[in-house]
Amino acid sequence: MEELDIKEILNYFWDKKIIIILLLILSIGCGVVYNKFFKVPMYQSSTTIALTRTNDNSDNNDNSAISERDISFNKQLITTYSSIIKSRRVLDQVISNLKLKTTSAELMSRISVSNEVDTALLKIAVADTNKKTSQKITKEILKVFSKEIVNIYDINNITILDEATIPTAPYNINPKKDYLLFVGIGLIIGIVIIFIIYYFDTTVKSAEQIESKIDLPVLAIIPVAENKPKEKKKLFTNKKNNKKSNKKNNEKKKVKKHAK
């Protein structure tokens, strides 16, 4: 396999740098167009709840304190509660209450439920194109979910830590991050294109390359003659003027002969 000369490749890339520059400009332009005309801004509102002690009076020793059984039970409920929040039983009621023009499956795709490790905390976040709607849906989900927990388990162990607020800015638009991404894509494409051109370029680029290929020393190098269009133009005009002067001289000779 032919060995690659790193220095030669770098020089070749430097000679073709205009390709990379053009692709970088094109990729940044695509990023600007994508952010302004194609990327839909989404707003996300969230609320955080804590699972506290249950309303179980069987523990007569200390009704005011949270027992270890409560903590263990609440941690086990985290996964179950996450599924109930995104269930059709809850979401269908939310859609009906708020009169939303959507389906439970579509609404489910815009809801995220997360839990911090080794805690009984749940964060419910809802994304929407309208900032106020995202807050309304988040609050309504929590309201319906709390009622359903009482109906299903006959317990009330939910405490709101952070209320849902109206988001101030879209969470999915980050121009700096997007532009860096498009710059990286343009740079990679440019490098790949130049490398492909280099790989399939069979022209000899230096005397050292000839010596490495045929294993013989180079005796002489013939430089490429540069074209000088201005000199050619002068020669052409001089020839043209000479023709005109010769023609005039011939005409004068003819006139003299006729005069004789």
135 and 80 part of one domain: yes
pLDDT for 178: 87
Q: What is the mean pLDDT of each run of 10 residues along the chain (260 residues)?
A: 66 86 91 87 94 59 58 78 94 95 94 87 94 96 94 88 93 87 92 87 68 66 63 53 62 55
Tell whether 20 and 118 lie within a shared domain. no
Distance CA 248, CA 107 (A): 95
Kindly state whether residues 153 and 79 are assigned to the same domain: yes
- Eight-state DSSP code of residue 174: -
Residue 215 domain flag: no
Does some domain include residue 217?
no
- Cα–Cα–Cα angle for 42, 45, 47, rounded to 5 degrees: 155
Does 177 lie in the same domain as 100? no
The verdict on residue 167 lying in a domain is: no
Range of the domain at 192: 6-37+173-208
Q: Which residue has the tokens 């003299």?
A: 256
The predicted structure's pLDDT at residue 237: 54
Say yes or no: 148 and 179 in one domain. Answer: no
Phi, psi of 160 (to 5 degrees): -85, 125
Same domain, 33 and 53: no
For residues 184 and 139, state if they share a domain: no
Q: Domain containing 110 — which CATH number?
A: 3.30.70.1130
- The span from the CA of 97 to the CA of 169, in Å, is 26
Cα(235)–Cα(128) distance, rounded to whole angstroms?
76
- Residues 193 and 158 grouped into a single domain: no
CA atoms of 103 and 85, how far apart (whole Å): 15
The total of structural domains in the chain comes to: 3
Same domain, 47 and 118: yes
- Answer whether residue 251 is part of any domain: yes
The model's pTM: 0.62
**Residue at 216 is within a domain:** no
Q: Are residues 50 and 30 in the same domain?
A: no
How many other β-carbons are positioned within 10 Å of the β-carbon of residue 46?
A: 20
